[in-house]
């Protein structure tokens, strides 16, 4: 769905096309200057452009995977065969198209711009169908909600990641440290490759504008990553209201790459992602409190809490101020701090060290925010660690 899922086989033709376009742009600039002086060169120049455009048209037929990547990233047309990839529920005739129809609505929502008068119509219809499925009290319909909403949530994460990468955000720490999730986690090779990809992208965009073509990535029919982030909050809220907060928390906790990319994002996008993180931290706080739950389930929930803290605590430290106004009120900040302290307190001692070391780095190096304040948790962890050391030596 997103660019992150494309295989090397499908990416190779795209890179070849971008590279050929970039080389042509550089060569074309020199030829234009000479063509102004000599008539014969103007004819040659026109012939070369025509041949190059023919080559670009021929390239997709030589590599059909180009079409598959493009169609997968922008699923504005209904998929062939009537299946919308809902994990099996929507692929057959048993649900009479319920999951396929809902999947199509959610896909359209992510591509229709908010400025369109049809946006609210489609979103209201999707919300109405989701609520009806939930309140019917029929397990099959609730399962449709779970699978379709989970797939839409994952797809939105992928679209946001792809959009952020295309806009030049990279997984590097502006402060030069590793950040425990905010640094250049891919290493120098990945960062160097990222710069090359961004350079090719910019050259490709200039070529596209020269030939009068519309930019593919970043437009997505007028949508933006900020819009997608707002829709992701809506999807998270719908999943939680349907009782699937455990699943949505697990999926958000696993979105570590998005958490790293968010550290270098624009303030407005950071604000949108902070809202999602805050909402899901509140949901995650209650995980593992069910005394009747199985031990294996409780262990899994503890791991989700750990992953959630590692993936999204750095963003809270660095992107919680907002642009025009604070994202959270004083009361909301204090409530979330207490929730974070409670979550950290349920972890093992070595896991607490991992989370608090991550917090200390990002909290210290963030020049724009002094929240969340987890000094009390740090002091409790240190006292407990010191006590363990003393008891061991006695």
**Tens-place pLDDT, residues 275-290:** 999 999 999 987 766 6
Residue 225 CA to residue 158 CA, distance in Å, equals 11
Which segment of 166-175, 208-217, 245-254, 370-379 scores lowest on mean pLDDT? Answer: 208-217
Question: Does residue 353 have a pLDDT over 90?
Answer: yes
What mean pLDDT is predicted for residues 103-107? Answer: 91
Which segment of 31-40, 96-105, 119-128, 232-241 scores lowest on mean pLDDT? Answer: 31-40
Does the pTM exceed 0.75? no
Residue 373 zone, left/alpha/beta (φ > 0; ψ -120 to 50; rest) = beta
The encoded tokens of residue 390 equal 């003393």
Question: Does residue 143 have a pLDDT over 70?
Answer: yes
Taken as a whole, the chain contains a residue count of 394
Q: pLDDT tens, 148-161? A: 999 999 999 999 99
The sign of the torsion formed by the CA atoms of 222, 227, 228, 231 equals: negative
Question: Which H/E stretch holds residue 194?
Answer: helix 187-210
pLDDT attached to residue 285: 85
Cβ atoms within 10 A of the Cβ of 142, count?
Answer: 17
Quickly tell me which residue has 């009290």 as its tokens. 137
pLDDT attached to residue 394: 66
Q: pLDDT tens, 279-324? A: 999 999 877 666 666 777 888 889 999 999 999 999 999 876 655 6
Q: pLDDT-derived band of residue 210, with 50, 70 and 90 as boundaries?
A: very low
pLDDT attached to residue 18: 56
pLDDT attached to residue 341: 94
Residue 37 CA to residue 335 CA, distance in Å, equals 72
383, HSE (Cβ side, Cα atoms, 13 Å): 7
Q: Is there a contact between 286 and 344 (Cβ–Cβ < 8 Å)?
A: no
Q: At what angle do helices 349-365 and 295-318 cross, to 10 degrees?
A: 10
pLDDT attached to residue 202: 45
Question: Which H/E stretch holds residue 52?
Answer: helix 39-62
Question: Does residue 390 have a pLDDT over 80?
Answer: yes
298, HSE (Cβ side, Cα atoms, 13 Å): 10
pLDDT attached to residue 78: 44
What mean pLDDT is predicted for residues 108-122? Answer: 89
pLDDT attached to residue 224: 85
185-218 exposure pattern, b = at least 16 Cβ within 10 A, e = fewer: bbeeeeeeebeebbebbebbbebeeeeeeeeebe
What mean pLDDT is predicted for residues 186-196? Answer: 41
Share of the chain above pLDDT 70, in %: 60
Residue 7 CA to residue 4 CA, distance in Å, equals 8
Residue 268 CA to residue 296 CA, distance in Å, equals 39
Which one is predicted more confidently, 394 or 304? Answer: 304
| C-alpha distance across the termini of the chain, in Å | 58
Share of the chain above pLDDT 90, in %: 36
pLDDT attached to residue 303: 92
pLDDT attached to residue 366: 79
What mean pLDDT is predicted for residues 109-115? Answer: 88
pLDDT attached to residue 137: 82
pLDDT attached to residue 23: 56
pLDDT attached to residue 381: 93
Q: Is there a contact between 374 and 356 (Cβ–Cβ < 8 Å)?
A: yes
Q: Is there a contact between 189 and 370 (Cβ–Cβ < 8 Å)?
A: no
Residue-averaged pLDDT of the chain: 74
Which one is predicted more confidently, 389 or 342? Answer: 342
């Amino acid at each position: 769905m997103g660019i992150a899922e494309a295989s090397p086989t499908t990416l190779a033709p795209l890179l070849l096309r971008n590279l050929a376009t970039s080389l042509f742009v550089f060569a074309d600039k020199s030829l234009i200057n000479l063509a102004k002086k000599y008539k014969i060169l103007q004819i040659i120049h026109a012939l070369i452009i025509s041949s190059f455009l023919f080559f670009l048209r021929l390239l997709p037929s030589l590599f059909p995977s180009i079409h598959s990547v493009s169609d997968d990233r922008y699923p504005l047309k209904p998929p062939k065969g009537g299946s919308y990839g809902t994990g099996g529920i929507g692929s057959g005739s048993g649900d009479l198209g319920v999951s396929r129809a809902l999947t199509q609505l959610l896909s359209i929502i992510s591509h229709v711009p908010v400025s369109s008068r049809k946006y609210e119509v489609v979103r209201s219809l999707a919300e109405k169908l989701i609520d009806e499925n939930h309140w019917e009290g029929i397990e099959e319909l609730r399962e449709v909600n779970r699978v379709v909403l989970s797939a839409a949530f994952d797809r939105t994460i992928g679209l946001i990641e792809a959009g952020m990468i295309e806009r030049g955000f990279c997984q590097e720490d502006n402060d030069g440290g590793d950040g425990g999730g905010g640094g250049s986690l891919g290493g120098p090779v990945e960062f160097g490759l990222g710069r090359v990809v961004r350079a090719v992208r910019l050259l490709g965009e200039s070529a596209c504008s020269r030939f009068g073509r519309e930019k593919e990535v970043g437009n997505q029919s007028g949508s933006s990553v900020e819009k997608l982030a707002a829709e992701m909050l809506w999807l998270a809220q719908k999943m939680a209201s349907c009782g699937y907060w455990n699943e949505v928390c697990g999926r958000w906790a696993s979105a570590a790459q998005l958490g790293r990319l968010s550290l270098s994002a624009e303030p407005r996008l950071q604000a949108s992602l902070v809202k999602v993180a805050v909402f899901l931290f509140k949901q995650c706080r209650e995980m593992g409190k069910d005394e009747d739950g199985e031990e294996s389930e409780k262990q899994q929930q503890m791991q989700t809490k750990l992953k959630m803290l590692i993936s999204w605590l750095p963003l809270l430290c660095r992107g919680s101020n907002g642009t025009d106004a604070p994202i959270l009120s004083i009361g909301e900040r204090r409530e979330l701090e207490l929730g974070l302290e409670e979550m950290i307190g349920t972890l093992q001692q070595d896991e607490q060290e991992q989370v608090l070391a991550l917090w200390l780095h990002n909290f210290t190096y963030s020049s724009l925010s002094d929240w969340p304040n987890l000094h009390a948790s740090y002091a409790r962890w240190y006292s407990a660690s010191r006590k363990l050391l003393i008891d061991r030596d006695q």
